[in-house]
């Protein structure tokens, strides 16, 4: 199966460039990071290396012109640079000039020549004669999947046999053969500045759909330098859902985990058993062109403070398709992994696709076993607050309600209610976890819950001010009492750190997740959830 020539911009991630800033300042170039151009896996994580022959991105400032300039024809430039920008990578005594794709003040993309040696090296970027250098880790293979949101998370760029993108309103079906797009399968021979011949690179790429292994038919270059495609068949027994996980493993390393929408044969939309991505809501979004949603969560994860986060917004249909619909929890039976960087772990849980927020009033009033609290809006349609900090708690089994008084100009008055049962209790949390082996966790007390979330959180300090984080999240049937996290996801955990605390290991948490739908004037669908997790920290092998 070959790729049609859609144009480079559809296959090289430029989404971040849509958030263009002011004109570049006349300052020396500075680099903040080097990333796989599809996954954007943060520095220091097991899948952050840059593969020979792959497309990578350099982020920073002063890297190129204030207006984006992209290559317009073949051959793509190398030693001559692009818009005054050149990039070289040195490993040992070998220096290679990279093949430019686009240049811009805040971000540059290029192909790493396949002949670049494997190992730790130095990347040097030159713009208008000014140079800046940073370290780079070159590996033989490290596949990153393209995503529709451009940020390395959420729905992957996966097409059917006619090259139509799989989405929530154009789902795949069990037995379909699909094409997954990305970069990082490994080195090729020949001129990499022009369209390459297509041949299987023999990387042994594995694809897991909803934790099930898929049959892979091809894994090699597409018709574009550095862009790879993997052809695979959706396993016949795959359970449906709007966020079925897609994990690619190459040479023992799992790339960024994406999702695909899969529906039973004959159905034209996907549907999940929880949250807002039901078939009825998606059909409504197709008919209207958008969906107005409300999400309210009152949560405690581990020993962190009890908090409320709520939003009310309009998602155009295209935004729903490109995002996770406001929720990072995967479809039932799937696991996913969210990788992020920033000053707090929550940075890993942010989707770059945001709605247009709707005015739901100046305050939300939360009432529960811990009393009533008023939460002012942080901004239009967005509310957040700490309800209690350890050792105090706010969340306990009982009845909760959240209301917005007389409402606002975008969302009318409503009251959402939920009864939180006694918490789910883990029964077999290990003291040590082997990243190379599957991990089975068990629990009791699932009465009143439909889903149980299984969390594995881990991070590694990268610099004094910046950290990289991994959240492995699985969605299990509450009544099963057991779930196995595949090693496919556990190998994404950093073996040498636990977030900014400096602890080595992984935070394992299990939680029953209750949901209560609610309605309000101005929104099409709303969900309230209240939960706390139970777990402990384990060491990593």
Nearest CA-CA partner of 320 in 184, 168, 441, 211: 168
Residues 6+ apart with CB under 8 A from 10: none
Query: How big is the chain, counted in residues?
Result: 541
Which DSSP string do the residues of 91-125 spell out, in sequence order?
ETTEEEE-EEEEE-SSEEEEEPPTTSPSEEEEEEE
User: Could you identify the residue written with the tokens 């789902």?
Assistant: 171
The CB density around residue 344, as the number of other CB atoms within 10 Å, is 13
d(CA 295, CA 274): 13
Q: What is the pLDDT of residue 98?
A: 98
Burial class (CB in 10 A: 0-12, 13-18, 19+), 104: buried
The CB density around residue 131, as the number of other CB atoms within 10 Å, is 12
Q: Is 70 exceeded by the pLDDT of residue 22? A: no
Nearest CA-CA partner of 419 in 438, 434, 397, 402: 397
Taking residues 331-336, report their average pLDDT. 91
Greater confidence (229 vs 468) lies with 229
Q: Is 50 exceeded by the pLDDT of residue 25? A: no
What 8-state DSSP symbol labels residue 436?
T
Taking residues 319-324, report their average pLDDT. 82
- Confidence band, pLDDT 50/70/90 cuts, at residue 531: very high
* Secondary structure of 210-250 in HEC code, one letter for each residue: CCEECEEEEEEECCCCCCEEEEEECCCCCCCEEEEEEEEEE
d(CA 144, CA 369): 46
Task: Determine which of 27-31, 183-187, 248-252 has the lowest per-residue pLDDT on average.
Answer: 27-31
Which tens digits make up the pLDDT trace of 398-456?
999 999 999 999 999 999 999 999 999 999 789 999 999 999 999 998 888 888 899 88
What 8-state DSSP symbol labels residue 156?
B
Taking residues 495-520, report their average pLDDT. 81
Domains of the chain: 8-139 (2.60.40.10), 144-262 (2.60.40), 290-356+423-540 (no CATH)
Q: What is the pLDDT of residue 242?
A: 92
Which tens digits make up the pLDDT trace of 145-177?
999 988 899 999 999 989 999 999 999 999 999
d(CA 502, CA 497): 6
Q: Is 167 helix (H, G, I), strand (E, B) or coil?
A: strand
**Is the separation of the CB atoms in 537 and 522 below 8 Å?**
no
- Confidence band, pLDDT 50/70/90 cuts, at residue 469: confident
Nearest CA-CA partner of 155 in 14, 249, 258, 239: 258
Residues 6+ apart with CB under 8 A from 108: 57, 58, 63, 64, 85, 87, 100, 102, 125
Q: Is 90 helix (H, G, I), strand (E, B) or coil?
A: strand
User: Could you identify the residue written with the tokens 């009791």?
Assistant: 444
Which DSSP string do the residues of 376-404 spell out, in sequence order?
EEEETTEEEEEEE-TT-----SEEEEEE-
Q: Is 60 exceeded by the pLDDT of residue 366? A: yes
Structure tokens at 168: 């929530």
What phi and psi values does residue 133 have, to the nearest 5 degrees?
-130, 155
Which DSSP string do the residues of 37-77 spell out, in sequence order?
TTT-PPTTSTT-PEETT-EEEEEEESSS-SS-EE--SSSPP
Q: Is 50 exceeded by the pLDDT of residue 21? A: no
Task: Determine which of 40-49, 253-262, 281-290, 323-332 has the lowest per-residue pLDDT on average.
Answer: 323-332
Residues 6+ apart with CB under 8 A from 481: 442, 443, 444, 446
- Confidence band, pLDDT 50/70/90 cuts, at residue 462: low
- Confidence band, pLDDT 50/70/90 cuts, at residue 135: very high
The angle subtended at Cα 300 by Cα 296 and Cα 303, nearest 5°, is 165
Burial class (CB in 10 A: 0-12, 13-18, 19+), 92: exposed
Task: Determine which of 4-8, 43-47, 72-76 has the lowest per-residue pLDDT on average.
Answer: 4-8
The mean of the pLDDT values for the chain is: 89
Q: Is 291 helix (H, G, I), strand (E, B) or coil?
A: strand
d(CA 232, CA 210): 14
Which tens digits make up the pLDDT trace of 193-248?
999 999 899 999 999 999 999 999 999 999 999 999 999 999 998 988 999 999 99
Nearest CA-CA partner of 296 in 232, 375, 362, 212: 375
Greater confidence (154 vs 323) lies with 154
Which tens digits make up the pLDDT trace of 91-125?
999 999 999 999 999 999 999 999 999 999 999 99
Give strand pairing partners of 135.
122
Residues 6+ apart with CB under 8 A from 492: 45, 46, 47, 254, 257, 337, 339, 470, 472
Q: Is 80 exceeded by the pLDDT of residue 352? A: no
């Amino acid at each position: 199966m070959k790729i049609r020539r859609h144009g480079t911009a559809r296959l090289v991630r430029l989404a971040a460039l849509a958030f263009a800033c002011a004109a570049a300042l006349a300052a020396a170039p500075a680099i903040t990071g080097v990333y796989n151009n599809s996954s954007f896996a943060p520095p220091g994580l097991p899948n952050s290396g840059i593969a020979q022959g792959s497309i990578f991105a350099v982020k920073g400032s002063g890297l190129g012109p204030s207006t984006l300039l992209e290559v317009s024809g073949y051959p793509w430039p190398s030693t001559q640079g692009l818009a005054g920008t050149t990039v070289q990578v040195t490993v040992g005594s070998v220096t290679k000039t990279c093949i430019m794709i686009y240049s811009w003040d805040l971000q540059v993309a290029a192909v790493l020549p396949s002949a670049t040696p494997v190992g730790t090296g130095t990347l040097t970027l030159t713009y208008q004669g000014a140079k800046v250098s940073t370290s780079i880790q070159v590996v033989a293979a490290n596949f990153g999947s393209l995503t529709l949101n451009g940020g390395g998370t959420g729905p992957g760029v996966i097409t059917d046999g006619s090259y139509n993108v799989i989405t929530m309103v154009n789902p795949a079906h069990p037995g379909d053969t699909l094409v997954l797009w990305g970069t990082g399968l490994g080195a090729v021979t020949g001129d990499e500045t022009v369209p390459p011949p297509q041949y299987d690179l023999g990387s042994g790429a594995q694809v897991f759909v909803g934790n099930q292994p898929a049959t892979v038919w091809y894994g090699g270059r597409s018709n574009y330098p550095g862009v790879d495609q993997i052809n695979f068949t959706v396993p016949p027994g795959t359970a449906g859902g709007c966020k079925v996980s897609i994990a690619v493993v190459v040479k023992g390393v799992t790339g960024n985990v994406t999702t695909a929408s899969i529906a039973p044969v004959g159905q034209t939309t996907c549907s999940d058993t929880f949250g807002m991505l039901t078939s009825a809501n998606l059909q409504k979004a197709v008919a209207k062109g958008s969906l107005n949603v409300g999400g309210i969560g009152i949560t405690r994860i581990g020993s962190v403070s009890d908090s409320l986060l709520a939003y009310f917004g309009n998602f155009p249909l295209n935004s729903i398709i490109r995002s996770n619909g406001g929720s990072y929890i995967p479809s039932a039976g799937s696991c996913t992994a969210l990788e992020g960087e920033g000053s707090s772990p929550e940075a890993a849980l942010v989707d770059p696709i945001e709605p247009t927020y709707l005015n739901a009033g100046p305050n939300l009033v939360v009432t529960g076993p811990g009393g009533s609290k008023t939460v002012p809006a942080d901004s239009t349609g967005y509310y957040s607050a700490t309800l209690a900090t350890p050792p105090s708690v706010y969340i306990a089994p009982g009845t909760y309600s959240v209301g917005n008084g007389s409402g606002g100009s975008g969302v009318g008055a409503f009251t959402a209610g939920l009864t939180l049962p006694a918490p789910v209790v883990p029964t077999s949390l290990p003291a040590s976890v082997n990243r190379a082996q599957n991990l089975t966790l068990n629990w009791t007390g699932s009465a009143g819950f439909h889903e149980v979330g299984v969390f594995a959180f881990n991070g590694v300090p990268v610099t004094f001010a910046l950290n990289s984080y991994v959240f492995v999240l699985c969605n299990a049937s509450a009544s099963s009492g057991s779930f196995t996290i595949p090693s496919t996801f556990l190998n994404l955990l950093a073996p040498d750190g636990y977030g900014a605390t400096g602890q080595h290991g992984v935070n394992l948490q299990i939680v029953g997740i209750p949901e209560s739908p609610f309605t309000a004037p101005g929104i099409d669908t709303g969900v309230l959830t209240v939960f706390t997790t139970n777990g402990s920290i384990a060491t990593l092998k």
